[in-house]
Amino acid sequence: MRYFYTCLLAALSLLATGCSNMKGHYEYELSKAKEREEKDLATITELQEENREMRNALFELKKGDHVMVLGEINEPGIYYVGDEASLVEVIEMAGGETRFTSRRAIINRGGNRIEIDTIANGSAQIVLLPGDVLYFSRLLL
């Protein structure tokens, strides 16, 4: 019986040593995974910044005859307007308003902010010029 307990104690000792080694292995693998995740996150952040810079550069190139439509609209993007386009035409190009589009919109024209009411009488006569940025705000519920 004493021999049995000695063997059992030796087996438990080996098991404890093995578990300790496995714990170290898993901690090492976890630290490596965290390093890879941080590196991937940094890469994603860099790519997002490059994408923003390229999009802005593209808009600057197209600014001569395009407008940028942003915010609560079905298809935000950059749209060709030639010399000018009406607000209604630009909304149509951008796929129309969503069910959450507010009646308020903002035109940024050369650094000047022009707030407009898209439903008011005369809104169809609003003209957008090349280089304008049109932002549709979200309806507050």
pLDDT for residue 14 is more than 60 = no
Greater model confidence, 106 or 55: 106
Q: Bin 111: left if φ > 0, else alpha if -120 < ψ < 50, else beta.
A: left
Most confident residue range from 46-50, 115-119, 120-124: 46-50
Give the pair of three-digit tokens for residue 50: 């490059």
Give the pair of three-digit tokens for residue 80: 């060709």
Within 13 Å, how many C-alpha atoms sit on residue 66's CB side? 15
| pLDDT value of position 63 | 60
d(CA 89, CA 108): 17
What number is the average pLDDT over the span 12-38?
73
Helices (H), 1-132: 2-62, 87-93
Within 13 Å, how many C-alpha atoms sit on residue 105's CB side? 28
pLDDT tens string 53-105: 888 777 666 667 889 999 999 999 989 888 888 898 999 999 999 888 888 89
Q: What is the pTM of this model?
A: 0.55
